[in-house]
Structure 1
């Protein structure tokens, strides 16, 4: 290979080293491909560095702080509890984020994946150019997997900078704000709103639709709203954010609700109204790749674009912008390149909100099942009847199963409460495997455990409940 005006040859190249990209690179290498991965910023992508992982670290810190402040129900009285937020941030950055990202880099090297630093641009369907600092190199490739992720949307009147921040800025504040305004009450806004409320901030959430967490069912969201009320979080729905003015030591947010213009003052305003796919400035159009009007890449069920040599996964393709969706698609694309007969199937794709309490959903809701023409029934078991939930003093929530009336096949499920993000996996497996309620009911669950609530719900679906 010759460096310079000549193109270096690559077999499979992955653009982006987030949870889609690095998984694709490792799986492709495992399938016998010679793989290189191109990353312009940081290994691990948004998720590991400024998204999923650091946000859960702050959420966890908030929970521990609240437990230290108030555990009298357990007979534990504490005095002099203090929060050293600088130390919290240091733990998040060094003991959590850096450990994971360095681990991912180790895994890439272990799997013989070449790491190329820089920004990639397509020249044509089999050539790209990588620019890094003051140098540039051209590469030819047999196959490319584009996994460039997404970035926060900036809305009119809320230009990022200073005290007007996106979710990345919200995760890296130097102090817990006394007052925090959040524009957007989706998963990111609700999660970080709860985290900062637990850490002592006075939080106001402005949501443009009729409810926060609009992608979850109303009875699930009600429990989060109740929790927010207890924390002193103010939620304003059907609110239109109009402008934010940075005053230097505070920010004034103007919004409209119920036909009336309102203003609130806060230390920071965090905008979490969605994310935009990172598909611009990649040269995808030059390579002949077809896009949607929203800037998403059109792909088939193997994540292949209309250009045979180029695949795309994660936030840049249609569907939910979820890290675990990107990782799933990564394996499909890598295996498709190796000639395996694989295709995406999102039937068991979970959605989770790490709020208080946690929300998790997989498969179809009752409404979706009926719209699909299925004759279903719904069975719901409250965590107040679960021994482990009682021992944790976290009885808010429930497990719900959506099953067919004829043969009790599980087509959907929702979990609200402690451990929902983990418990949902059992229901997802059941849906993926085509199991019915009897399969779950006959599975021996450890006692006492939160997962027993799934078994109890399955027994309820069969008309043979023990703990109801």
Structure 2
């Protein structure tokens, strides 16, 4: 095949890679992107988007089932509902397919050439791509590595049969009667709660003293309450040991667990969902041919996403935490502009992170403990959704908004929230931190009524000592 030469080569068409390629194309940079699967990466195909579709379907079913049970307070009565997961998956796949086509169209519009196949480095400027029609050689002046991450597999519970990753969980044809979730982080609890709403009996096995350990206990309290309401059993300080030799997947007693007191227990599970984290996808790309400096298992980068080799950049999950699609997107856009000759560097005050549990969690910037360690004396304002009219009309009183600021000049250092639909407040939180807002800026901004966003303003007022509605 004829060799391709370009100014920028992007390896991986996930959120970071395709954004980098599109922005480079917009700036007139001759760009090629290589992807072995469909455009959109983990996020679009087997992560963010499909999981939110499944979570939404589960929420809607639970609401209807609640009404059918005569427990609703809204005056709505319905017949007993049923759930067809196959139809839900078909609907989810339709959304993913439309977005796949959208990304491909945007790349074409930006005049980016797409090569389908697996790329392997020959050297720092050259890759070989194994395509359906043969080996394609691509030479580039600059390369962006955006290969993403994959689920971590436990050696004693390899994926296959009843043991699944989040990828397989989002493609099941029927709701498992019993589901064991290994790992009580955001992925495990998001999917575990969704399947509980669909009708699964869910058991969460977490090795740490509590689930969602990356968040402070006060923030996660409403989520823990909801886990109990859904009948989800949570085993903390417990370690999965493997498949039970006395049980059989689908027949009960499938998972062997060592409990907090050192005893052996068996957890019935038709499916065992392993969500113990993700690891960077660095194998198979020929990275040994270019000898990049590593930061542990991740590729080491500077504040311009440059690696240790001139002309090679790395973005997204392959460069470390936080493994978030919007971080990769921001990095990809920045690198494209650097390659185009613009002066850019990575200087983010905050990258909002969302946990799509029920209720949702949002964090941006520093927690109270982190702020106290860095800034000394702080002010914290917290406003409960139990005092917010809009939250009450949505039956979403559980939760709150919390604002953390310096005590001396009132500069906002961090914002957190837990509650129904608070993911949509993340943009306001991130903007406030990026703009260097002070408590007075947030308190003085007129927030529309009735909205949950008023809780943000009220939290700032509380920190200033004069909340109006509590």
TM bucket, shorter chain: over 0.9
The Cα of 1:275 is off from its aligned counterpart by 0.7
Q: Would the alpha carbon gap of residues 248 and 205 (structure 1) be closer, same or farther in structure 2, given more than 3 Å must change? A: closer
Cα distance in 2 for partners of 1:433, 1:136 equals: 48
The Cα of 1:191 is off from its aligned counterpart by 0.2
Cα distance in 2 for partners of 1:305, 1:250 equals: 50
The Cα of 1:347 is off from its aligned counterpart by 1.9
Query: 1:386 maps to which residue?
Result: 388
Of the candidates 289, 302, 305, which is equivalent to residue 304 of structure 2? 302
User: Is the contact made by 1:38 and 1:116 (CA closer than 8 Å) also made in structure 2?
Assistant: yes
Query: 2:399 maps to which residue?
Result: 397
Query: 2:248 maps to which residue?
Result: 247
Query: 1:44 maps to which residue?
Result: 40
Cα distance in 1 for partners of 2:173, 2:61 equals: 17
Of the candidates 53, 58, 62, which is equivalent to residue 57 of structure 1? 53
What secondary structure, in the 3-state scheme, does the structure 2 residue paired with 1:38 have? strand
1:114-147: CA deviation from partner (whole Å, max 9, x where unpaired): 1100000111111111112461011110011111
1:280 aligns with 2:279: no
User: Is the contact made by 2:249 and 2:270 (CA closer than 8 Å) also made in structure 1?
Assistant: no
The Cα of 1:464 is off from its aligned counterpart by 2.1
User: Is the contact made by 2:250 and 2:271 (CA closer than 8 Å) also made in structure 1?
Assistant: no
Cα distance in 1 for partners of 2:435, 2:330 equals: 16
What secondary structure, in the 3-state scheme, does the structure 2 residue paired with 1:431 have? helix
1:269 aligns with 2:265: no
What secondary structure, in the 3-state scheme, does the structure 2 residue paired with 1:348 have? coil
Cα distance in 1 for partners of 2:251, 2:183 equals: 19
User: Is the contact made by 1:164 and 1:244 (CA closer than 8 Å) also made in structure 2?
Assistant: no
1:368-412: CA deviation from partner (whole Å, max 9, x where unpaired): 112113321111000001110011011000000001111211110
What secondary structure, in the 3-state scheme, does the structure 1 residue paired with 2:80 have? coil
Cα distance in 2 for partners of 1:36, 1:453 equals: 46
What secondary structure, in the 3-state scheme, does the structure 1 residue paired with 2:289 have? coil
Of the candidates 1, 6, 9, which is equivalent to residue 10 of structure 1? 6
What secondary structure, in the 3-state scheme, does the structure 1 residue paired with 2:299 have? coil
1:432 aligns with 2:441: no
Aligned length: 462
User: Is the contact made by 2:334 and 2:345 (CA closer than 8 Å) also made in structure 1?
Assistant: yes
The Cα of 1:292 is off from its aligned counterpart by 2.8
The Cα of 1:247 is off from its aligned counterpart by 2.9
Cα distance in 2 for partners of 1:383, 1:63 equals: 20
Cα distance in 1 for partners of 2:180, 2:308 equals: 43
User: Is the contact made by 2:176 and 2:200 (CA closer than 8 Å) also made in structure 1?
Assistant: yes
Query: 1:179-328 residue pairs with structure 2 within 5 A?
Result: 179-245=178-244, 247=248, 249-250=250-251, 252-257=254-259, 258-294=261-297, 296-328=298-330
Compute the RMSD of aligned alpha carbons: 1.3
Cα distance in 2 for partners of 1:285, 1:346 equals: 31
Task: Name structure 2 gaps, 5 residues minimum.
Answer: none
Task: Name structure 1 gaps, 5 residues minimum.
Answer: none
1:181-209: CA deviation from partner (whole Å, max 9, x where unpaired): 01011110010001001111100000111
Q: So what's the TM-score if we normalise by structure 1?
A: 0.96
What secondary structure, in the 3-state scheme, does the structure 2 residue paired with 1:370 have? helix
The Cα of 1:250 is off from its aligned counterpart by 4.3
1:252-291: CA deviation from partner (whole Å, max 9, x where unpaired): 1111112111111211001010111111111123123212
Cα distance in 2 for partners of 1:402, 1:24 equals: 34
Shift >6 Å, 4+ stretches = none
1:223-250: CA deviation from partner (whole Å, max 9, x where unpaired): 1111000000001111111102583644
Cα distance in 2 for partners of 1:101, 1:207 equals: 35
Cα distance in 2 for partners of 1:337, 1:61 equals: 42
Segment of structure 1 superposing worse, 118-127 or 416-425: 416-425
Query: 2:137 maps to which residue?
Result: 138
